[in-house]
Each structure stands twice: as structure tokens, then as C-alpha cells.
Amino acid sequence: MHIHDIIIDLFLGKSPGQLPLSVWVQVIRVLRYQQCLARIGWRLQDSGLATELPVYALNHLKNADLIAQKQYHQVHYEAMLLQRQLQPLTSHLLFLKGAAYSLNDDSAVGRGRTYSDIDLLVDRKSLPVIEKELCLYGFVAEDLDEYDQKYYREWSHEIPPLRHGSRGTLLDIHHNLLPLITGRAPDISLFFRHTRQTNAGYTVFSPAAMFLHSTVHLILSEEIKHGFRDITDLYLIIEQYQNNDFWQELVSLSIESGFAIEVFLALRYLEKILSLQVPVAVHQKLSTYRPSEFRLRSLDFIFLRKLKPAHPSFGNHSDVVADWLLLLRGHYLKMPLHILLKHLGRKFYLQAVSAVFGSNFLDKKTENHRNK
């Protein structure tokens, strides 16, 4: 049995039978890399499989659970401060992605979920005043070169990340779901109509819009490191919130915002990898968005590799090819050709410099500049 299949079974609450300790070592290693240790921990508790685990696995799961709990409390604290400081400055203040999972009441996808930054969605108009206000509260922008500044300000859907000087909290402030340069950034007011308030008064996307946003991110990304975490995010949203209204809202919003193909693909991989049951009616409505057989085959090649519980040490050549295809596809989808060529040219230049002079050559150089 392949390590992928064992991990998928564990997630779905199916006993993989007695596993030798050496297999548990691999399972834990892959899950840690995928940032899914705490998630698998509670899934095993809930399905009753936790009683069969060796001490080795229990120890690592316990550690991960404690780390996740701590982050859960921390994000509530940060959200309280942000809400208080920013609410008066913008007509919309939404928590997105990881932070939204945690803030949503009793959400399964938020349980044990860890992430490295807090993502917010606000009105584009209010960005300058929000940026100034956050500066007063100790959030400062990371040092960026001119090219990156230009990228953020002109092409992106967010401002450069802000870090809190003492707490280290990293903030990503967005005004849209996708970079403007992609030509695929949706009319954001559409999404502002699909929100809900948590009991504590935070605004997050409705489950269907949340699913759609996470899907868009996953299917259009140029690099997937934690693919299994991302696909299980989607699985848990559906498992908890699916009903007729959810599916209807998802289908209509995805068509309206132009992301029906992405939703088609996400549901396809949820079925193929995690055996999710998608209602026939949903299939029918999305069937017109099915890519051609040839495209679908190459997409399967990429995503069936990248969304399984992968780890670079256990990969092979076709995983490397999948990474490259994903990088090219992600960029191709997100940038007009002339900008894409310029952007890739710069990326390759940086890679070439690293290859010749060592991976930290460029870090050093910035230090020297500062010294002058």
C-alpha cells in the first residue's frame, strides 16, 4: 500500500490495518511537511482510530495539536485588535483563508489548521488609510526591491505584506481575490454579497464563497507545496456545510464570477482523491465547463500528483515534471504573454545567479548595499 493511500485512509477514518513503525515514521513526516498533523490528529480521534496508534505517532500528534491550539487562540486575539482598529476605516473587512477557518464558529476546517499569515479583504479605496493606520499600530512593510514594489502596486490584488514589529504577526491585505494583471480578478462586490457574521462579530465568506475562493487559489496557483492540506480544506468545508443551498450558491457564484472550470476541477479531484460524492445535479450544471479530453489529461497529470499527500523526499521524476508544468501553467494563466516573458526572464535570471554563486548570494548583496 502506497504511503499516499495510507494517509488518505487515515484522513477518511478507514483503518489501514497494523502498520510497521517505519511506515508511521513516513506518515508523520509527510503530514508534518503537509502541515496536516493536527488535522489528522483530530480526524483519528473522531473516527476512533487514535486508540490503535503507536506512542511515536501519538507524541507527534500531541505536539502538533498543542501548536495548533496556541495559534487558534493567537489568531482570535489578533483578529480582535484588527477588527477594532480597521472596522471604522472601511465598508468591508473580511477575514480570508486560514484565519477565516479559525474564526468561523465550530468549523471543522479551522480545527487544527495552521497558517503563517492573516489574510484580510477590504475595499480598494480604503487601502491607503488602512496602511497608515496599521503602521501606527506597529505593522511595517517588509523590505522589497523596486520590481516587487511595482508588482504589488500595479499588478497585484494585495499590498506588500506587513509584519508586526514585536509580535511578528504577518498580515496580507487584499482588495481582490486574484491579481488584477491576470484579467481574471472578479467583480469583488459580487463576493461581498456572499458573507456571514461569526458569533464574535467577524465577517467571513459564506461556506460556498469560501469554498470557491480556496478553489480558485488552489487550481490557479503556480506552486503547490501543501496540496493535501489544501484539498482536505475543501473536503472539510463540503463535509460540514453541504446541503441544497450550499450547492446552488456554489454553482451560481462560480458561473457568475467566471470560475466554473476551477470548481469543476476541484470537485473532480475531491472525487478522485478523497472519494467525495458530488450530487448528480451539480455535475450536470458544471458539465459544460469540462475541459477538452487532452487538457483534462494533462491537468490530471499535475493535480493527481500535487494534491495527494506528497513529500519531496518520496517524489520521483514525474513529480518534478508536474511541478514545472504547474509553474508554467500558473504563470500563463495569470499574466499576459509579454509580462509573463519578462517575469519569467527575471525568475530565471535569479535562479541562474543562485545556481552559479550559491543560493544566498543575493541576500548577501542586499546587506552590502545597506552597509554602503
Partner 1 sequence: MTLDVKYLNLPPFCFEIQTDIEKVIRNLQHIYADAFQDSAIAPDYFLTLKSGSGLRKYLRPQARFLADQHEPFKPIDALNGFALLEWGMNWCIATQEMRFVIVHAAVLAKDGKAVLFPAPPGSGKSTLTAWLAFHGWRLLSDEMALIVPGTNTVIPFVRPICLKNQSIHLAKKWFPTAKFSSIAKNTHKGDVIHLSPPIDSWQQNTTSAQIIAIVFPRYIKEQSLEVTVLNQAQAFMALAENAFNFSLAGNEGFQTIVKLVETCQNYEATYSTVAELAEFLEQDVLPNAHP
Site of interaction with partner 1 (CB under 8 A):
21-22, 24-25, 29, 32-33, 56, 59-60, 62-63, 66-67, 69-70, 73, 312-313, 354-361, 363
Residue 225 or 290: the one with the smaller Cβ distance to partner 1 is 225
Three-class SS of 353-365: HHHHHCCCHHHHH
Cβ at position 3, least distance to partner 1 in Å: 15
Cβ at position 313, least distance to partner 1 in Å: 8
Cβ–Cβ < 8 Å for 139, 164 = yes
Residue 33 or 202: the one with the smaller Cβ distance to partner 1 is 33
Residue 111 or 175: the one with the smaller Cβ distance to partner 1 is 111
H-helix or E-strand containing 156? Answer: none
Determine the residue type at 176.
N
3-state percent breakdown (helix, strand, coil) of the chain, nearest 5:
65, 5, 25
Residue 25 or 89: the one with the smaller Cβ distance to partner 1 is 25
Cβ–Cβ < 8 Å for 53, 85 = no
Residue 73 or 125: the one with the smaller Cβ distance to partner 1 is 73
Cβ at position 312, least distance to partner 1 in Å: 6
Residue 25 or 327: the one with the smaller Cβ distance to partner 1 is 25
Sheet holding 170-174, edge to edge: 139-141, 162-164, 170-174, 118-122, 93-96, 203-205, 195-197
Check the CA dihedral 108-111-113-116 and report its sign: positive
290 burial (CB, 10 Å; 0-12 / 13-18 / 19+) is: middle
Cβ at position 24, least distance to partner 1 in Å: 7
Cβ at position 229, least distance to partner 1 in Å: 14
H-helix or E-strand containing 161? Answer: none
Cβ at position 286, least distance to partner 1 in Å: 36
Cβ–Cβ < 8 Å for 170, 162 = yes
Q: 361-371 vs 337-357: helix axis angle to the nearest 10?
A: 90
Cβ at position 367, least distance to partner 1 in Å: 10
Strands 170-174 and 118-122: parallel
Cβ at position 117, least distance to partner 1 in Å: 16
23: CB partners within 8 A, 6+ apart: 3, 6
Residue 38 or 274: the one with the smaller Cβ distance to partner 1 is 38
Rounded Cα gap, residues 300 and 295, in angstroms: 9
Residue 338 or 369: the one with the smaller Cβ distance to partner 1 is 369
